[in-house]
């Protein structure tokens, strides 16, 4: 099984951006944790981050023929990007939306996710573990490939 992990706007600022919410570990540490966890499960992963909506849409579209699933943290695009929603709906592979913080316990504008309905699940509020939980969820969909 091969999973694409997509991180959206400002995720490259982990460790510096609101460490009381997102923690002090940086984006490289997040990717290292993702790679380590995936390898322990026999899953291949690729991490991708962009602050540009179009690049995220391109990555989703390209993943359709190259990957078996997507883990996506759209960042702030979660709350208004119908274009990312539509891209997720257009591909034939499952996606799981993740958030390090619990968006339901933050500012009211963060409560709505327009991208989650295009995903099979949303995992929020578990920090880096939100990603590992999503990888495990997708891996369970294709146990014969592990």
User: SS3 for 49?
Assistant: strand
Structure tokens at 34: 């993702």
How far apart (Å, rounded) are the C-alpha atoms in residues 48 and 51? 10
List the catalytic residue out of 27, 37, 85, 99.
99
List the catalytic residue out of 22, 27, 77, 131.
22
82 belongs to the catalytic site: no
Integer angstrom CA distances of residue 69 from 8, 15, 56, 77, 98: 17, 27, 15, 20, 13
Phi, psi of 114 (to 5 degrees): -85, -10
Structure tokens at 80: 């208004």
99 belongs to the catalytic site: yes
Report, as residue numbers or ranges, the catalytic residues: 22, 99
């Amino acid at each position: 099984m091969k999973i694409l992990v997509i991180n959206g706007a400002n995720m490259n600022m982990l460790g510096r951006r609101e460490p009381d919410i997102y923690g002090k570990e940086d984006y490289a540490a997040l990717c290292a944790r993702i790679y380590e966890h995936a390898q322990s499960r026999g899953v291949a992963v690729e991490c991708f981050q962009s602050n540009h909506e179009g690049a995220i849409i391109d990555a989703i579209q390209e993943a359709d023929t190259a990957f078996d699933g997507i883990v996506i943290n759209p960042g702030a695009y979660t709350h208004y990007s119908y274009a990312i929603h539509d891209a997720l709906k257009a591909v034939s592979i499952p996606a799981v939306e993740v958030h390090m913080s619990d968006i339901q316990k933050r500012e009211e504008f963060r409560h709505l996710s327009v991208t989650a309905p295009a995903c099979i699940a949303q995992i929020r509020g578990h920090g880096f573990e939100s990603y590992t939980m999503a990888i495990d969820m997708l891996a369970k969909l294709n146990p014969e490939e592990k």
